[in-house]
Amino acid sequence: MTAGRPLRVGLVCPYSFDVPGGVQFHVRDLAESLLARGHEVSVLAPASDDTPVPPYLVAAGRAVPVHYNGSVARMTFGPVTAGRVRRWLAAGRFDVLHLHEPVTPSLGMLALWIAEGPVVATFHTSLVRSRPLQMAYPIVRQSLEKISLRVAVSEDARRTLVEHLGGDAVVIPNGVWVDTFAGAGTDPRWAGTPQAPTVAFLGRLDEPRKGLAVLLRAVPTVLEAHPGARFLVAGSGETGQEQAREVLGPRAAAVEFLGGVSEQDKARLLASADVYCAPQTGGESFGIVLVEAMSAGTTVVASDLGAFSRVLDDGEAGVLFRTGDPADLGATLARVLGDPELRARVSARASRVVRRYDWSAVTDQVLAVYEMAVAGGHAPVGEDPSSLRGARLMELRRGRT
């Protein structure tokens, strides 16, 4: 391959765009960054027919919700989906196929089984122990050998890959449009004052690992030091307000539930708050919202998970508290809200750190991996003949049932 030549890139996302999350946003932003540089990009992802999707995305049909890693993942699988993958691959004639979470039973696993040629795989998940991954390994072991180069979004994700699946990966972090958040501007509805500082939280309210319960139990300690403090909670889920009333009683009035917010409002919320709080209790491989808050110039207070600590430069670009400890979180928030010089110092360091996560830098690294994959393989990506035999057997079995 000639360096700099436009590439035909096929990106496969395992999770549905009906309810987008971190992996979907990563795939979307990578696609748009590649398109901006003149490459041809097509994304295959689960999505219902009535879900608005960008023009470069091919919808692979409705997904099924599955509980996994403390969250609910929406995925699609089976012979009909496999047929859609085949047609997409045949039409794309991609120079490189980039799969995300290829051992998740969804589109990435199917595409890895079906395709042959230059294949790059990105692993996002961070788990200490994973019975599903251990069970999946014998099934996907042979297919994993097709992967030309592996990428992990963090050291935590890389460790999960090494321990559960073997092999290794280059670490390329999640990306953020840093200047978008840096220039978002504030919103008077969410801006704090010395008498009424604001603390922001974003996350799915019905996922315990996002830590809303930890934050709610920290609220009384913060209010004792800052009686006018406001807690701005953004995210989908039905349980948040009920939780707040149960935990806080009359003090629940200090917690304002904003519901789901647009990307533009998310940026303005982060830019407006005095502190962004990330009280997650586990299952995090990176922490993209921390980088977004840092880009917006907001001081981050986060649980001391390994992934968060690394993003925050071991506490130099943010303030850490003991994971799952509401008393320590409350004391930390009270201290940070009462110390504007600390916030200014930490935010200044963060504004320098975040540049390593800007999509301009991340895309350079991804393209370098693509170049190596294409140089070492035979382009374009084609169909593995052995997968056709497997598909025929699958159809025969379906016909007998």
Bond from prior residue into 380 cis (ω within 30 degrees of 0): yes
Strand partners, 12: 44, 99
**339-361 confidence digits (pLDDT tens):** 999 999 999 999 999 999 999 99
CATH H superfamily, domain 181-355:
Glycogen Phosphorylase B; (3.40.50.2000)
Q: CB of 111 within 8 A of CB of 86?
A: no
Among 250, 269, 274, CA closest to 195: 274
Contacts of 82 (CB under 8 A, 6+ apart): 110, 113, 114, 391, 394
**162-192 confidence digits (pLDDT tens):** 888 888 999 999 999 999 999 999 999 999 9
The alpha carbon of residue 103 and the mean position of all alpha carbons in its chain are separated, in whole angstroms, by 16
Token pair recorded at residue 288: 């993209």
Find the range with the poorest average confidence among 125-139, 207-221, 246-260.
Answer: 125-139
SS3 41: strand
- Greatest distance between any 2 Cα atoms in the chain: 72
What are the φ/ψ torsions at residue 99 (nearest 5 degrees)?
A: -100, 140
Among 167, 227, 230, 243, CA closest to 199: 230
Tell me the CA distances in angstroms from 267 to 261, 298, 361, one per residue in order: 10, 11, 21
Residue 11 clears pLDDT 80, i.e. is over it? yes
- pLDDT confidence bin for 206, thresholds 50/70/90: confident
DSSP 209: G
Pick the CATH number of 8-175+358-400 from 3.40.640.10, 3.20.20.10, 3.30.420.40, 3.40.50.2000: 3.40.50.2000
- pLDDT confidence bin for 136, thresholds 50/70/90: low
129 compared with 382, residue with greater pLDDT: 382
- For the residues 278-283, what does the mean pLDDT come to? 94
Q: CB of 100 within 8 A of CB of 23?
A: yes
Residue 396 confidence (pLDDT): 42
Residue range(s) in the chain whose domain bears CATH number 3.40.50.2000:
8-175+358-400, 181-355
Residue 140 clears pLDDT 70, i.e. is over it? no
